[in-house]
Amino acid sequence: MSSAIDSFLAMLAAERGAAANTLAAYRRDLEGSEEVAGDLVAATKDDLAKLSRVWSDLAPATVARKISALRQFYGFCLEEVLRADDPSTALPRPQTRRPLPKILSHDEVEALFRQAESEAETGRAPALRMLALLELLYGSGLRATELVGLPVSAVPRDAPFLTVTGKGGQQRMVPVSRRAQAALARWLEVRASNSAFLFPSRKSHLTRIRLYQLVKSLAGRAGIDPARVSPHVLRHAFATHLLEGGADLRVLQTLLGHADIATTQIYTHVDSARLVALVNERHPLAGTRGRG
Protein backbone atom coordinates (compact mmCIF):
# COMPACT_ATOMS: atom_id res chain seq x y z
CA MET A 1 0.00 0.00 0.00
CA SER A 2 1.23 3.48 -0.85
CA SER A 3 2.27 5.52 2.18
CA ALA A 4 0.70 8.48 0.38
CA ILE A 5 -2.72 7.04 1.22
CA ASP A 6 -1.93 7.24 4.92
CA SER A 7 -0.78 10.84 4.50
CA PHE A 8 -3.93 11.71 2.54
CA LEU A 9 -6.20 10.20 5.19
CA ALA A 10 -4.28 12.00 7.94
CA MET A 11 -4.90 15.27 6.09
CA LEU A 12 -8.63 14.53 5.81
CA ALA A 13 -8.82 13.87 9.52
CA ALA A 14 -6.76 16.87 10.59
CA GLU A 15 -7.86 19.56 8.14
CA ARG A 16 -11.40 18.52 7.21
CA GLY A 17 -12.44 16.71 10.36
CA ALA A 18 -13.45 13.59 8.43
CA ALA A 19 -15.27 11.02 10.55
CA ALA A 20 -13.83 7.56 11.21
CA ASN A 21 -16.40 5.89 8.94
CA THR A 22 -15.55 8.29 6.11
CA LEU A 23 -11.83 7.64 6.50
CA ALA A 24 -12.43 3.87 6.47
CA ALA A 25 -14.47 4.15 3.27
CA TYR A 26 -11.76 6.21 1.56
CA ARG A 27 -9.13 3.69 2.62
CA ARG A 28 -11.12 0.76 1.20
CA ASP A 29 -11.67 2.55 -2.11
CA LEU A 30 -8.06 3.67 -2.52
CA GLU A 31 -6.50 0.38 -1.45
CA GLY A 32 -8.90 -1.48 -3.74
CA SER A 33 -7.82 0.77 -6.62
CA GLU A 34 -4.15 0.03 -5.90
CA GLU A 35 -4.85 -3.70 -6.20
CA VAL A 36 -5.86 -3.08 -9.81
CA ALA A 37 -3.81 -0.07 -10.92
CA GLY A 38 -0.69 -0.54 -8.80
CA ASP A 39 0.97 2.20 -6.75
CA LEU A 40 -1.39 5.15 -7.15
CA VAL A 41 1.36 7.74 -6.87
CA ALA A 42 3.12 6.21 -9.88
CA ALA A 43 -0.02 5.12 -11.78
CA THR A 44 -0.55 6.30 -15.35
CA LYS A 45 -3.81 7.11 -17.11
CA ASP A 46 -3.66 3.69 -18.73
CA ASP A 47 -3.33 2.10 -15.28
CA LEU A 48 -6.40 3.95 -14.03
CA ALA A 49 -8.33 3.06 -17.17
CA LYS A 50 -8.23 -0.56 -15.99
CA LEU A 51 -10.45 0.42 -13.09
CA SER A 52 -13.38 1.23 -15.38
CA ARG A 53 -13.44 -2.36 -16.61
CA VAL A 54 -13.26 -3.76 -13.08
CA TRP A 55 -16.06 -1.44 -11.94
CA SER A 56 -18.36 -2.21 -14.88
CA ASP A 57 -20.82 -4.25 -12.80
CA LEU A 58 -20.99 -1.83 -9.86
CA ALA A 59 -23.84 0.58 -9.18
CA PRO A 60 -23.28 4.11 -10.57
CA ALA A 61 -23.35 5.60 -7.07
CA THR A 62 -20.60 3.21 -5.94
CA VAL A 63 -18.44 4.05 -8.97
CA ALA A 64 -19.01 7.77 -8.35
CA ARG A 65 -17.85 7.38 -4.74
CA LYS A 66 -14.67 5.56 -5.78
CA ILE A 67 -13.89 8.16 -8.45
CA SER A 68 -14.42 10.96 -5.95
CA ALA A 69 -11.92 9.33 -3.59
CA LEU A 70 -9.33 9.07 -6.37
CA ARG A 71 -9.84 12.63 -7.59
CA GLN A 72 -9.39 13.99 -4.09
CA PHE A 73 -6.34 11.80 -3.57
CA TYR A 74 -4.70 13.10 -6.73
CA GLY A 75 -5.56 16.67 -5.78
CA PHE A 76 -3.66 16.01 -2.56
CA CYS A 77 -0.72 14.53 -4.51
CA LEU A 78 -0.49 17.68 -6.64
CA GLU A 79 -0.57 19.94 -3.59
CA GLU A 80 2.12 17.89 -1.87
CA VAL A 81 4.20 17.71 -5.08
CA LEU A 82 4.08 13.92 -5.00
CA ARG A 83 3.50 14.04 -8.74
CA ALA A 84 3.23 16.72 -11.42
CA ASP A 85 0.10 15.55 -13.23
CA ASP A 86 -3.38 14.27 -12.45
CA PRO A 87 -4.15 10.93 -14.13
CA SER A 88 -7.68 10.84 -12.71
CA THR A 89 -8.88 12.63 -15.86
CA ALA A 90 -8.84 9.15 -17.42
CA LEU A 91 -11.66 8.09 -15.09
CA PRO A 92 -15.28 8.23 -16.29
CA ARG A 93 -17.77 10.76 -14.99
CA PRO A 94 -20.86 8.68 -14.19
CA GLN A 95 -24.14 10.51 -13.98
CA THR A 96 -25.86 9.68 -10.74
CA ARG A 97 -29.06 10.82 -9.13
CA ARG A 98 -29.38 11.03 -5.40
CA PRO A 99 -31.93 8.36 -4.47
CA LEU A 100 -35.07 9.52 -2.76
CA PRO A 101 -35.20 8.48 0.87
CA LYS A 102 -37.47 5.68 1.97
CA ILE A 103 -40.50 7.08 3.74
CA LEU A 104 -42.76 5.80 6.49
CA SER A 105 -46.30 7.09 6.71
CA HIS A 106 -47.65 8.75 9.83
CA ASP A 107 -49.76 5.66 10.48
CA GLU A 108 -46.73 3.38 10.30
CA VAL A 109 -44.77 5.57 12.70
CA GLU A 110 -47.74 5.54 15.08
CA ALA A 111 -47.84 1.73 14.85
CA LEU A 112 -44.18 1.56 15.83
CA PHE A 113 -44.77 3.78 18.82
CA ARG A 114 -47.90 1.87 19.90
CA GLN A 115 -45.88 -1.34 19.91
CA ALA A 116 -42.91 0.21 21.74
CA GLU A 117 -45.13 1.91 24.33
CA SER A 118 -47.12 -1.28 24.91
CA GLU A 119 -43.93 -3.24 25.55
CA ALA A 120 -42.55 -0.47 27.77
CA GLU A 121 -45.56 -0.87 30.07
CA THR A 122 -43.92 -4.08 31.32
CA GLY A 123 -41.20 -1.93 32.92
CA ARG A 124 -38.50 -4.22 31.53
CA ALA A 125 -35.19 -2.48 30.80
CA PRO A 126 -34.87 -3.65 27.14
CA ALA A 127 -38.36 -2.36 26.36
CA LEU A 128 -37.74 0.99 28.05
CA ARG A 129 -34.44 1.32 26.18
CA MET A 130 -36.19 0.58 22.88
CA LEU A 131 -38.77 3.30 23.51
CA ALA A 132 -36.04 5.83 24.36
CA LEU A 133 -34.12 4.89 21.20
CA LEU A 134 -37.23 5.23 19.06
CA GLU A 135 -38.12 8.61 20.54
CA LEU A 136 -34.66 9.98 19.74
CA LEU A 137 -34.49 8.50 16.23
CA TYR A 138 -37.86 9.86 15.15
CA GLY A 139 -38.28 12.73 17.60
CA SER A 140 -34.84 14.29 17.18
CA GLY A 141 -33.65 12.88 13.84
CA LEU A 142 -30.34 11.57 15.14
CA ARG A 143 -28.01 9.52 12.99
CA ALA A 144 -27.48 5.97 14.24
CA THR A 145 -23.83 6.69 15.07
CA GLU A 146 -24.78 9.84 16.95
CA LEU A 147 -27.44 8.02 18.95
CA VAL A 148 -25.49 4.98 20.07
CA GLY A 149 -22.49 7.13 21.02
CA LEU A 150 -24.43 9.58 23.20
CA PRO A 151 -22.82 10.10 26.61
CA VAL A 152 -25.01 10.27 29.69
CA SER A 153 -23.85 13.87 30.09
CA ALA A 154 -25.68 14.76 26.87
CA VAL A 155 -29.07 14.17 28.50
CA PRO A 156 -30.72 17.54 29.18
CA ARG A 157 -31.18 18.66 32.75
CA ASP A 158 -32.75 22.10 32.70
CA ALA A 159 -33.11 22.66 28.94
CA PRO A 160 -34.93 20.43 26.42
CA PHE A 161 -31.89 19.92 24.19
CA LEU A 162 -29.26 17.29 23.53
CA THR A 163 -25.68 18.16 22.67
CA VAL A 164 -24.81 15.89 19.75
CA THR A 165 -21.42 15.33 18.14
CA GLY A 166 -22.02 14.67 14.46
CA LYS A 167 -19.94 14.10 11.36
CA GLY A 168 -16.48 15.59 11.44
CA GLY A 169 -16.73 16.15 15.19
CA GLN A 170 -19.17 19.03 14.69
CA GLN A 171 -21.44 19.65 17.67
CA ARG A 172 -25.04 20.82 17.47
CA MET A 173 -28.02 21.21 19.76
CA VAL A 174 -31.13 19.18 18.95
CA PRO A 175 -34.49 19.57 20.67
CA VAL A 176 -35.88 16.79 22.83
CA SER A 177 -39.64 16.54 23.08
CA ARG A 178 -41.47 16.09 26.36
CA ARG A 179 -42.30 12.54 25.23
CA ALA A 180 -38.62 11.80 24.63
CA GLN A 181 -37.65 13.35 27.97
CA ALA A 182 -40.17 11.11 29.72
CA ALA A 183 -38.89 8.03 27.87
CA LEU A 184 -35.29 8.91 28.75
CA ALA A 185 -36.20 9.41 32.40
CA ARG A 186 -37.83 5.97 32.53
CA TRP A 187 -34.80 4.39 30.85
CA LEU A 188 -32.35 6.07 33.23
CA GLU A 189 -34.28 4.69 36.22
CA VAL A 190 -33.58 1.09 35.15
CA ARG A 191 -30.22 1.58 33.41
CA ALA A 192 -27.93 -0.53 35.59
CA SER A 193 -24.51 0.66 34.51
CA ASN A 194 -21.74 3.03 35.48
CA SER A 195 -20.81 3.50 31.83
CA ALA A 196 -20.30 6.99 30.47
CA PHE A 197 -22.59 6.06 27.57
CA LEU A 198 -26.34 6.56 27.63
CA PHE A 199 -26.93 3.21 25.92
CA PRO A 200 -24.09 1.02 27.23
CA SER A 201 -23.05 -2.47 26.21
CA ARG A 202 -20.71 -4.88 27.92
CA LYS A 203 -17.62 -3.40 26.25
CA SER A 204 -18.59 0.12 25.24
CA HIS A 205 -21.92 1.29 23.87
CA LEU A 206 -24.72 -0.19 21.82
CA THR A 207 -23.45 -0.79 18.28
CA ARG A 208 -25.02 0.52 15.11
CA ILE A 209 -25.59 -3.06 13.97
CA ARG A 210 -27.42 -3.93 17.17
CA LEU A 211 -29.54 -0.77 16.88
CA TYR A 212 -30.38 -1.77 13.30
CA GLN A 213 -31.47 -5.22 14.52
CA LEU A 214 -33.57 -3.80 17.35
CA VAL A 215 -35.44 -1.40 15.08
CA LYS A 216 -36.20 -4.08 12.49
CA SER A 217 -37.38 -6.47 15.16
CA LEU A 218 -39.73 -3.82 16.55
CA ALA A 219 -41.09 -3.17 13.06
CA GLY A 220 -41.88 -6.86 12.62
CA ARG A 221 -43.73 -6.97 15.93
CA ALA A 222 -45.67 -3.86 14.89
CA GLY A 223 -46.83 -5.54 11.67
CA ILE A 224 -44.57 -3.52 9.36
CA ASP A 225 -42.25 -5.11 6.81
CA PRO A 226 -38.82 -4.97 8.54
CA ALA A 227 -37.16 -4.42 5.16
CA ARG A 228 -38.79 -0.98 5.04
CA VAL A 229 -37.56 0.19 8.44
CA SER A 230 -34.12 1.12 9.74
CA PRO A 231 -32.63 3.82 11.98
CA HIS A 232 -31.89 5.93 8.90
CA VAL A 233 -35.46 5.52 7.62
CA LEU A 234 -36.71 6.90 10.94
CA ARG A 235 -34.35 9.89 10.52
CA HIS A 236 -35.84 10.40 7.05
CA ALA A 237 -39.33 10.19 8.53
CA PHE A 238 -38.42 12.85 11.10
CA ALA A 239 -37.25 15.21 8.34
CA THR A 240 -40.07 14.43 5.93
CA HIS A 241 -42.85 14.86 8.47
CA LEU A 242 -41.36 18.09 9.83
CA LEU A 243 -41.21 19.53 6.34
CA GLU A 244 -44.80 18.47 5.71
CA GLY A 245 -45.74 20.29 8.89
CA GLY A 246 -44.25 23.54 7.61
CA ALA A 247 -40.68 23.45 8.96
CA ASP A 248 -38.22 25.84 7.34
CA LEU A 249 -35.57 24.13 5.22
CA ARG A 250 -32.74 26.00 6.96
CA VAL A 251 -34.06 24.92 10.35
CA LEU A 252 -34.25 21.35 9.11
CA GLN A 253 -30.66 21.60 7.88
CA THR A 254 -29.55 22.62 11.37
CA LEU A 255 -31.55 19.88 13.09
CA LEU A 256 -30.15 17.19 10.79
CA GLY A 257 -26.58 18.46 11.01
CA HIS A 258 -26.15 18.80 7.24
CA ALA A 259 -23.12 20.83 6.21
CA ASP A 260 -24.68 21.62 2.82
CA ILE A 261 -28.32 22.58 2.39
CA ALA A 262 -28.30 20.72 -0.93
CA THR A 263 -28.35 17.52 1.12
CA THR A 264 -31.44 18.73 2.98
CA GLN A 265 -33.24 19.74 -0.20
CA ILE A 266 -33.87 16.12 -1.12
CA TYR A 267 -36.76 16.21 1.35
CA THR A 268 -38.60 18.82 -0.67
CA HIS A 269 -39.93 16.04 -2.90
CA VAL A 270 -42.31 14.90 -0.20
CA ASP A 271 -44.99 17.50 -0.59
CA SER A 272 -44.39 19.77 -3.56
CA ALA A 273 -48.10 20.52 -3.81
CA ARG A 274 -48.07 21.84 -0.25
CA LEU A 275 -45.13 24.09 -1.06
CA VAL A 276 -46.92 25.52 -4.09
CA ALA A 277 -50.02 26.16 -1.98
CA LEU A 278 -47.87 27.82 0.67
CA VAL A 279 -46.48 30.28 -1.89
CA ASN A 280 -49.95 31.00 -3.26
CA GLU A 281 -51.38 31.61 0.21
CA ARG A 282 -48.53 33.33 2.03
CA HIS A 283 -46.68 35.34 -0.62
CA PRO A 284 -47.13 39.11 -0.05
CA LEU A 285 -48.68 39.49 -3.51
CA ALA A 286 -50.86 36.39 -3.28
CA GLY A 287 -54.03 38.40 -2.68
CA THR A 288 -53.44 41.03 -5.37
CA ARG A 289 -54.89 40.93 -8.83
CA GLY A 290 -52.74 41.03 -11.89
CA ARG A 291 -52.39 44.48 -13.42
CA GLY A 292 -53.69 44.96 -16.93
By annotation, the residues acting in catalysis are 143, 167, 232, 235, 258, 267
Q: What are phi and psi of 206, to 5 degrees?
A: -50, 135
Question: If DSSP states are collapsed to H, E and C, what string results for 193-249?
Answer: CCCCECCECCCCECCHHHHHHHHHHHHHHCCCCHHHCCHHHHHHHHHHHHHHCCCCH
Q: Which residues pair with 197 in a beta bridge?
A: 151
Q: Give dist(CA 114, CA 129) in Å, integer.
A: 15
CA angle 185-190-192, nearest 5°? 125
φ/ψ bin of 246: left (φ > 0), alpha (ψ from -120 to 50), beta (otherwise): left
Asked if 180 and 147 touch (Cβ cutoff 8 Å), the reply is: no
C-alpha 163/C-alpha 169 separation (Å) is 12
Query: Using alpha carbons only, what angle is made at residue 260 by residues 257 and 263, rounded to the nearest 5 degrees?
Result: 85
Q: What are phi and psi of 143, to 5 degrees?
A: -70, 155
Residue 98 φ/ψ, nearest 5 degrees: -65, 125
How far apart are the C-alpha atoms of 141 and 99, rounded to whole Å?
19
In whole angstroms, how far apart are CA 280 and each of 250, 260, 265, 283, 290? 21, 28, 20, 6, 14
